[in-house]
Structure 1
Amino acid sequence: MKSNVGGIDRILRIVLGLVLIGLTLTGNIGMWGWLGVVPLATGAIGWCPPYAMLGFSTCSMKK
């Protein structure tokens, strides 16, 4: 499994996931906020299945 999620993309995914989960836990949004687990997980492991299927990567190119 080759990493396909770059630095800024990873940070944004983790922050978005934590915000959605936090809003769900505080009761500000409904159960849909638990979908925040997906960007949190993909940001944490650095690999996104749709990126892999489409051949897309936000990682910097290594020379």
Structure 2
Amino acid sequence: MKRNIGTIDRALRAVIGIALIAWAFLGSSEFAWTGWIGIVPLFTAAIGWCPPYSLLGINTCGTKNA
């Protein structure tokens, strides 16, 4: 798996993932359980690879010219 998520993208995914998981724990709404979907952006931020990005040919990771 080649990394396809850049630094800013990874940071945003991590923040959104943590916020969603926090909402699952602390939310009083009957739909708070849906916050567990935050595991997905948190996981993709941790590994630096996003499967839909690969399928669509998107790469937010900066490329270095050799």
Report the TM-score when normalising by structure 2. 0.90
Q: Percent identity?
A: 54
Cα drift, residue 31 of structure 1 = 1.0
Q: Which ranges in structure 2 are unaligned for 5 or more consecutive residues?
A: none
Partner of 1:7: 7
Larger radius of gyration: 2
Partner of 1:62: 64
Q: Which ranges in structure 1 are unaligned for 5 or more consecutive residues?
A: none
Partner of 1:46: 48
Cα drift, residue 28 of structure 1 = 3.9
The runs of at least 4 consecutive aligned structure 1 residues that moved more than 2 Å come to none
Encode CA deviations 1:3-51: one digit per residue, 9 max, x unaligned: 0000000000001000000111012451110000000000010000000
Q: CA RMSD in A?
A: 1.0
Letter paired with 2:41: P
CA distance in 2, matches of 1:4, 1:39: 14
Partner of 2:25: 25
CA distance in 1, matches of 2:4, 2:53: 7
CA distance in 2, matches of 1:57, 1:28: 37
CA distance in 2, matches of 1:2, 1:61: 12
CA, structure 1 residues 39+24, in 2 after alignment: closer, same or farther (shift >3 Å)? same
SS in 2 for 1:13: helix
